[in-house]
Amino acid sequence: MEERRIGVDVGGTFTDVTLSLGGELVTAKVPSTEDQSEGVMAGIEKACAEAGIDPETLTEFSHAMTVSVNALLEEDGAKTALVATEGFRDVLEIGRQDRPSLYDLDAEKPTPLVPRRRRYEVSERTTTEGIERPVDDDEVRAIAGEIREADVEAVAVSLLHAYAHPENEERVAEVLREELDVPVSASHEVLAEFREYERTSTTAVDAYVRPAIDRYVSHLTESAGENGVPQPRIMQANGGITDADTVRRNAVTTVLSGPAAGVVGASAMAGDGGDDRSTGDDDRSAGDDHHAGLVTFDMGGTSSDVSLVRDGEAERTTEGVINDRPIKTPMVDIETVGAGGGSIAWVDAGGALRIGPRSAGADPGPACYGKGGTEPTVTDANLVLGYIGSSTSLGGEMSLDEAAAHDVLADLADEAGMDSALEAARGVYRVANANMTRAIRSVTVERGYDPRKFGLVAFGGAGPMHAISIADGLDIDRVVIPRASGVLSAYGLLAADEKRDAVRTYQRSLADVDPDDVDDVYEDLSEELLSEVSERENADVTCSADLRYAGQSFELPVDVDRPFDAREAGERFAAAHESAYGYQAEEPVELVNCRVTTTVPRSAPAIDYAAGGEPQRGSREAAFADGVHETPVYDRDQLAPGGTIEGPAIVEGDESTIVVPPSWDVRVREDGALIAGVDEK
């Protein structure tokens, strides 16, 4: 039987579905639900119904969700306790010396995930050299009794230097698991890496979101089984898929599940630079080597996510911050701003127009949804501007209330001192674009990259509506809108490799390391990961090292070969340092962490594209920077490969709408992707 693979991505407003069978790609959107699994199963049923197949015939089910990130953003995770080394219970509260507002004497730190009354101390002592004072089991059992009385839902254990010598922490976790009927997250299992604050914070986050992840994944797995759907495979923050049991044990790895899937999908659909799949007669075709890669731009209902793809690979990082909580786990390097289609527009105390971070969400949603929303959103502004038509159906089924959008934009205009709803809509569109432009600059200009040398790939339900105007402001000359751009994160789930990561701190001067010892570390980490992958014989193993100059506070990762060669590693670090900071130093180089990644490659499903029929649906008035134009409206599914559309134009699909301003055009690639560029006529 042919492969029938389905991917489901839960967003703040919609749940997106892609179904691949043979060369056909079937897509669907359904509103997200409070219990995300209900929307997931509804989306699967809808996509299967459209394809005319039974859900029981599916061969694979991949999934991305927002359970963990929602728990962090809404601060409604598990009631958590922390067990720390005596004298270190306040690490979470002390944090680091650096702070966002350096000179603000009234700046407040975020409230710790674990309040002081639920932070407990155990009188053990571990140094980087070994165990100085072993754990007293009776003391740990007494602590377990106090935790039981506190009625907590999860426990984090983070002992001093457990990354180097975990024996004491292993024993504490073992006793707590014997005594308590709640999940226990131990730092040497979550993050075997030095830096007490980040390790403790990451372990606390893992414990904080773990019960919610366990409940959700268990419920989803049960629902899938009842409907004959394969067991779900879950997207991680590192851009790789893994099994459900693994994410139950490592809940923190799911924090950017959906956005990571979007970057993977963008890279798979667009190609590096956005031009390697162009039609042969496109003067912006392969061989135009000034494109250094892609800026991925995913605009959904609640937020927008921006990332880089270089050399065909998504940029990754080993640390991030969500709601002011530092998290150290391998993840796709994504910058997020609170500007999405459902983001609410408002006027601040100084009379300035602002967008987000509050969102209307899926319920009640924007005013134009007709579900009781009373505040103006970006989607309402796009409707008033004419980019979305009153007859447009979002997700293929949701009709829009144009009068309601005009009313809330008129109210905003009165509050902001503007003349009309249309002027307010223009302002909302510009401010939203400015917010997203800043995010793109943060991953390009602020990191030493020229955005003009990148292509922009736009996706998400609202991304293609804003992307070309944003690119115009950044002097980016190519925008790629892939097929299924409105559900590209769901497609990324079908294209993602199986991926696992491991790290171990190994601090030595590079000049003094024993290469055999380093190879032993890499061998141990490799075997640990290979024992867990689904297809050991097909797994690729890559090794890297975190290096720094002596005296530096933070490291740069470089790829290393095996057997380990210290001289070669040092040369690669020097080149990486010069690329990042513009210079090399004569200081000694230190090895800090050894990292291993195992990847089981999976091929993205091939998608056939054929179009026929009349592409133009009609026209409507739409407002652009140079005025209001009578603008032709096209059906995306009817655009023939190789064809060209000159702006101004609007291209509508079931999941997203592409807005083409004057002076731009779009060409249809052979695979159905749209390539937008400046019209040079």
Q: pLDDT, tens digit, for every residue of 282-309?
A: 443 333 344 678 999 999 887 888 999 9
Rounded to the nearest 10 degrees, how much is the dihedral formed by the CA atoms of 123, 124, 125, 126? -150
* pLDDT band with cut points at 50, 70 and 90 for residue 436: very high
Token reading at 502? 């491991």
Higher pLDDT, 32 or 524: 524
SS3 375: coil
In the prediction, which pLDDT does 66 show? Answer: 86
Q: What is the DSSP string of 555-568?
A: -EEEEE-SS--HHH
In the prediction, which pLDDT does 394 show? Answer: 57
Sheet containing 80-85, strands listed edge to edge, beginning at the edge strand earlier in sequence: 119-122, 80-85, 154-158, 184-186
Element (H, E) at 518: helix 515-530
Mind listing the domains of the chain with CATH numbers?
4-72+214-254 (3.30.420.40), 77-205 (3.40.50), 257-337+432-495 (3.30.420), 343-431 (no CATH), 501-600 (no CATH)
Per-residue pLDDT averaged across 193-206, rounded?
A: 95
Q: Are 359 and 344 in contact (CB under 8 A)?
A: yes
Contacts of 652 (CB under 8 A, 6+ apart): 389, 392, 617, 633, 634, 635, 636, 658
Rounded to the nearest 10 degrees, how much is the dihedral formed by the CA atoms of 612, 617, 619, 620? -130
Q: Are strands 556-560 and 589-600 parallel, antiparallel or unpaired?
A: unpaired
* Alpha carbons 202 and 208: distance in angstroms, whole number: 10
Q: Are strands 331-332 and 316-317 parallel, antiparallel or unpaired?
A: antiparallel
Per-residue pLDDT averaged across 413-418, rounded?
A: 94
Q: Which of 9-23, 53-67, 511-525, 664-678 has the lowest mean pLDDT?
A: 9-23
Rounded to the nearest 10 degrees, how much is the dihedral formed by the CA atoms of 532, 535, 540, 544? -10
In the prediction, which pLDDT does 603 show? Answer: 86
Which residue in 354, 385, 360, 357 sits closest to 373, CA to CA? 360
Contacts of 39 (CB under 8 A, 6+ apart): 10, 15, 30, 31, 32, 33
213-240 residue pLDDT tens: 999 999 999 999 999 999 999 999 999 9
Per-residue pLDDT averaged across 621-639, rounded?
A: 93
Rounded to the nearest 10 degrees, how much is the dihedral formed by the CA atoms of 272, 277, 279, 281? 40
* Alpha carbons 483 and 262: distance in angstroms, whole number: 13
- Torsional sign, CA 208, 209, 211, 212: positive
Token reading at 101? 């507002």
Token reading at 192? 């075997």
In the prediction, which pLDDT does 111 show? Answer: 87
In the prediction, which pLDDT does 610 show? Answer: 79
Token reading at 305? 């996510």
* pLDDT band with cut points at 50, 70 and 90 for residue 271: low
Looking at the predicted structure, is the pLDDT value of residue 358 above 50?
Answer: yes
In the prediction, which pLDDT does 461 show? Answer: 83
Per-residue pLDDT averaged across 181-193, rounded?
A: 96
Whole-number percent of the chain with pLDDT over 70: 95
Per-residue pLDDT averaged across 22-38, rounded?
A: 87
Output helix, strand, coil percentages for the chain, rounded to the nearest 5. 35, 30, 35
Contacts of 596 (CB under 8 A, 6+ apart): 501, 502, 503, 522, 525, 526, 529, 541, 542, 543, 544
* pLDDT band with cut points at 50, 70 and 90 for residue 58: very high
68-82 residue pLDDT tens: 988 888 888 999 999
545-600 residue pLDDT tens: 999 999 998 899 999 999 999 999 999 999 999 988 889 999 999 999 999 999 99
Per-residue pLDDT averaged across 164-177, rounded?
A: 97
Per-residue pLDDT averaged across 340-359, rounded?
A: 90
* pLDDT band with cut points at 50, 70 and 90 for residue 681: low
The pTM score is 0.86
* pLDDT band with cut points at 50, 70 and 90 for residue 667: very high
Average pLDDT, the chain: 90
Token reading at 247? 């994410």
Per-residue pLDDT averaged across 461-468, rounded?
A: 93
In the prediction, which pLDDT does 614 show? Answer: 85
* pLDDT band with cut points at 50, 70 and 90 for residue 397: low
In the prediction, which pLDDT does 291 show? Answer: 64
* Alpha carbons 112 and 208: distance in angstroms, whole number: 11
In the prediction, which pLDDT does 276 show? Answer: 45
In the prediction, which pLDDT does 653 show? Answer: 85
In the prediction, which pLDDT does 364 show? Answer: 86
* pLDDT band with cut points at 50, 70 and 90 for residue 278: very low
Rounded to the nearest 10 degrees, how much is the dihedral formed by the CA atoms of 183, 189, 194, 196? 10
